[in-house]
C-alpha cells in the first residue's frame, strides 16, 4: 500500500513540479515559385520605352503610384500578394506584366525607382530566380 501511495505522490509531484517546455508549432515551409524576373522603371529617361510609349506608365493594375517600388506579378489574381525576391526584399504585387509567362516560367517584373533606375534596370537584366510568397 505504501508503494502505491509513494507512486501516486511521486507521479503527482512530477506532474505539477517542473513546467514542461513549451511546444512550438512547426513553421510551414515557405511557398517557393520558380519564376523569370525582369526589371523596369517608370522614371523618365530618353531611352526608356516605358515612359516614351503612351499609356505604359500612367497607372498600375491596382491604381497605385507607378513611381513607387513594386512588382508586376503573373496575373490579376496576384494583386495585393506580398512576395520576396532575393536582393529586393518584400514587394507588393500591384501590377501585371505584358506577358504572364516567359520561357515557360511565371513572369515577375520588378519596378525600380530613383534617378539611376533606368541604368539599374538594364544592368540587372533578366534571369530565373526563386520568388517566395509572404503570408
- Three-state helix/strand/coil letters over 94-119: EECCCCCEECCEEEEEEEECCCCHHH
Tell me what the mean pLDDT of segment 51-70 comes to. 77
pLDDT in tens, 19-45: 556 777 777 778 999 999 999 888 887
Topology of the domain comprising 32-134? Barwin-like endoglucanases (2.40.40)
Phi, psi for residue 101 in degrees, rounded to 5: -135, 145
Nearest-5° Cα angle at 73, 71 to 76: 120
For residue 52, pLDDT beyond 70 = no
Cβ atoms of residues 95 and 72 within 8 Å: yes
Local confidence band at 4 (pLDDT 50, 70, 90 cut-offs): very low
Ordered DSSP codes for 19-84: PPPPPPPPPPPPPEEEEEEEEEE-S--TT-HHHHSTTTTS--TTS--TTS-EEE-SSGGGTT-EEE
Local confidence band at 9 (pLDDT 50, 70, 90 cut-offs): very low
Tell me what the mean pLDDT of segment 103-126 comes to. 91
For residue 80, pLDDT beyond 90 = yes
State the pLDDT at residue 6: 41
Distance CA 127, CA 95 (A): 19
Local confidence band at 12 (pLDDT 50, 70, 90 cut-offs): very low
For residue 131, pLDDT beyond 80 = yes
| Domains of the chain by residue range | 32-134
For residue 48, pLDDT beyond 90 = no
Higher per-residue confidence, 88 vs 25: 88
pTM above threshold 0.85: no
State the pLDDT at residue 132: 96
Cβ-Cβ contacts under 8 Å for 103 (sequence gap 6 or more): 36, 128
Query: Cell numbers of 56, please?
Result: 505604359
Amino acid at each position: 500500500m505504501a508503494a502505491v501511495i509513494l507512486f501516486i505522490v511521486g507521479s503527482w509531484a512530477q506532474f505539477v513540479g517542473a513546467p514542461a517546455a513549451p511546444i512550438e508549432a512547426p513553421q510551414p515551409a515557405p511557398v517557393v515559385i520558380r519564376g523569370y524576373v525582369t526589371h523596369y522603371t517608370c522614371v523618365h529617361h530618353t531611352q526608356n520605352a516605358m515612359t516614351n510609349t503612351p499609356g505604359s506608365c500612367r497607372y498600375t493594375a491596382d491604381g497605385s503610384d507607378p513611381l513607387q517600388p513594386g512588382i508586376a506579378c503573373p496575373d490579376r489574381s496576384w494583386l495585393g500578394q506580398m512576395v520576396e525576391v532575393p536582393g529586393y526584399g518584400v514587394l507588393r504585387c500591384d501590377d501585371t506584366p505584358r506577358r504572364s509567362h516567359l520561357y515557360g516560367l511565371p513572369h515577375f517584373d520588378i519596378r525600380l525607382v530613383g534617378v539611376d533606375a533606368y541604368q539599374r534596370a538594364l544592368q540587372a537584366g533578366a534571369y530565373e530566380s526563386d520568388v517566395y510568397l509572404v503570408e
